[in-house]
Chains A and B, each alone.
Chain A
């Protein structure tokens, strides 16, 4: 079955550590996205990528970094510069050329700073 896989489901980070969240899709989608969701809030865009080896900052990119070396993969690194990283992180993908199905989301990663 095609879909998006995020790992891990839960992640605990110590102060000052960098952590990397994984996102893999087998939908052959061109575009991939990372969102952050805080409790009781909507989604905010961190980064997005429409083609391999290219990505763009979203609304809250500070303290985060991404790479897009393969079409299927879009990992997100939460760096020590992100002062309040505890949140729910969602990865999504979409096709830019067949527009009938919208976005598909992964099941998310809950990151907690301990």
Chain B
């Protein structure tokens, strides 16, 4: 089956810093999503991005499907950005295959 690898596993930054999270996947996928899970467990869909680049405020994402990777950029980090960021890809049966996540801690 498709393998999804996220890096780095953990990231600690000072408020105001920028960061790049990476997601590699092992095979062609129908689409790719980025999620943020806050410390209370709520999962929020950040981007639905099978290819190309999207931006939403301080966050942006780029997926290069031909090279099987996606990047999530967070600029000017805030403490509310803390949590776990998951990448998930959709296989040919419309099922999500999840990465293990990147745990981000933003220090004030």
Contact = CB atoms under 8 A, between A and B. Distances in A.
Contacts of A94: 94
A55 B33 CA distance: 23
B94 A104 contact: no
Contacts of A45: 95-96
Q: Select the residue from A42, A99, A103 with max chain B CB neighbours within 10 A.
A: A42
A102 B86 contact: no
B98 A43 contact: yes
B99 A31 contact: no
B24 to A, nearest CB: 15
Nearest to B41: A108
B91 to A, nearest CB: 11
Interface string B27-41: 000010101000011
Q: How large is the interface on A (under 10, 10 to 19, 20 to 34, 35 or more residues)?
A: 20 to 34
B106 interface: no
A94 to B, nearest CB: 8
Contacts of B35: 103, 105
Q: How large is the interface on B (under 10, 10 to 19, 20 to 34, 35 or more residues)?
A: 10 to 19
A46 interface: no
Contact of A103 (B42, B45, B101): B45
B100 A102 contact: no
Contacts of B48: 99-102
Contact of B45 (A33, A42, A96, A102): A102
Interface of A: 31, 33, 37, 41-43, 45, 48, 50, 58, 88, 90, 92, 94, 96, 99-105, 107-108, 110
7 contacts: A42-B98, A58-B95, A92-B43, A102-B31, A103-B45, A103-B88, A105-B44
Given A42-B99, A42-B101, A107-B40, 18 more contacts: A42-B100, A43-B96, A43-B98, A45-B95, A50-B94, A90-B41, A99-B48, A101-B45, A103-B33, A103-B35, A103-B96, A104-B45, A105-B35, A105-B43, A105-B45, A107-B41, A108-B41, A108-B42
